[in-house]
């Protein structure tokens, strides 16, 4: 498994597996505690696994947690998604840095997102399953949503936002979220 640091987001990493393919399909290790530990992430710190299934055009995000935040290891296990991370940690050397990724079931690449970063994605295929390994149990009172179409973020979503939750339609602009968290 190859580890690739994400320059625009300090502490974020891509974990690129080495699939073994033959006429039957492929086998791939998607998580390796020793590899995760090698970049300073405690593999035992993950407390919850979740999965979302989205139809093509569904847009989820931009989400983060207040308080201590929430670190995530995300992977598209089926289909393909356009994934976005924004660094909202004021003391980070990459504060307000943004990076986009193409994650897919074909590559099985995992993306580690440090606590304090906003995250969102859009499904690019008929269906897309995204798996999350999270370091905190969910507390709805800490949920924060930033407008996915905020001009300050200027996220180049590849498809029209066909399906967006009510929460995401009513999300605040980045400037308001930053003002509320100071």
Question: Is 132 annotated in the active site?
Answer: yes
Known catalytic membership, residue 138? no
Residue 76: its H or E element = strand 72-78
User: Which letter, b or e, does each residue of 56-76 get, where b requires 16 or more Cβ atoms within 10 Å of its Cβ?
Assistant: bbbbbbbbbbeeebbbbbbbb
- The single residue of 63, 112, 119, 148 carrying the catalytic annotation is 63
Q: Which one is catalytic: 95, 112, 127, 132?
A: 132
> C-alpha angle with apex 40: 34 to 43, nearest 5 degrees?
50
Report the alpha-carbon distance of residue 45 to residue 60 in Å, rounded: 25
Query: Catalytic site residues?
Result: 63, 132
């Amino acid at each position: 498994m190859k580890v690739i640091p994400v320059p625009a987001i300090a502490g974020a990493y891509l974990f690129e597996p080495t699939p073994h393919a033959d006429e039957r399909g492929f086998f791939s290790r998607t998580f390796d505690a020793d590899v995760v530990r090698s970049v300073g992430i405690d593999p035992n710190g993950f407390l919850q696994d979740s999965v979302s299934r989205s139809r093509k055009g569904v847009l989820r995000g931009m989400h983060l947690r207040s308080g201590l935040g929430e670190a995530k290891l995300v992977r598209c296990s089926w289909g393909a998604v356009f994934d976005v991370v924004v660094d909202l940690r004021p003391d980070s050397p990459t504060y307000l840095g943004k990076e986009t990724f193409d994650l897919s079931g074909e590559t099985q690449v995992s993306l580690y997102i440090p606590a304090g970063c906003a995250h969102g994605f859009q499904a690019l295929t008929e269906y897309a399953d995204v798996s999350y390994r999270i370091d905190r149990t969910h507390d709805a009172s800490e949920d924060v949503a930033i407008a996915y179409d905020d001009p300050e973020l200027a996220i180049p979503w590849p498809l029209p936002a066909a399906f967006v939750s009510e929460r995401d339609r009513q999300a605040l602009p980045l400037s308001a979220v930053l003002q509320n968290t100071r």
